[in-house]
Amino acid sequence: MTHLRKLLLEELQRRNYSHETIRSYVHAVEDFARRFNCPPDRLGPQHIRQYQAELFQKRKLSSGTVGIRLAALRFFYTKTLRRNWSLADTPYPKRTHRLPTILSQEEVAQLIDAAATPFHRTLLMTLYATGARNKEAVHLKFRDVDSKRMVIHIKGGKGRRDRDVMLSLKLLEELREHWYRVGQRPRVWLFPGNRRHSADRPINTKTVWHACQNAAKRAGIQIGAHPHTLRHCFGTHLLEAGADLRTIQILMGHSSLRETTIYLHLSQRHLQATASPLDLLKLKARSPQEK
């Protein structure tokens, strides 16, 4: 696998793929080879079909995850090995589209107030105030907070796109207190790692996940709450407050407006403003069975 791994890495790097994509593609090809205990260049379509079925049936992976695995294998065979790839033999799975969980504004306040530490409180406030993805939030630096223009610069987001989001006055006050609490010298990362928050590297995404989970448990919030929940709350609550979809798209870093329209299905303001067709019917006072 060493020689093939090198070739795969070179092809991915030549195309300037992101570090996360390179990591997931290499992992997928290695996992495929381990499954059959054979170099992947000796495996064919029948092995890919069997592998795909096992990912669903035995490993119970989601359609999105299986799609990424297939994309990695397709890249390996078509770009690295220069072989043909038949979509008819290895179709991409249909994705399941589920509406995300949304907390009310009152529940978001309860979640933030239930943070285990001031550090976690600042972290949760930042997630909700900016709509940043988990990975984007952990890589924020103090210099990304622009108090003069009242924006926060999110750099290297999904698709390697930079964007600016609004800086809340309430968050700015919290970040100023956070500045003095952080023991990091010099102060570089907004959320530095280790227990004393003095490392020269940021916290990892698992820390953010646990901060959300613990706060939800302490607040008595029964539905699942994780970092992306706060991102969805950001988009939905903005829409309910009157922001237009295009603005929300830019703030959230969506590549397509179609991604943003999901919040139309979640916004109470839009749902309540639309009357049910049942309310327009002129029904009799009783059903025929009651006469």
Active-site annotation, residues: 133, 158, 228, 231, 254, 263
Residue 248 CA to residue 244 CA, distance in Å, equals: 6
Residue 195 CA to residue 95 CA, distance in Å, equals: 40
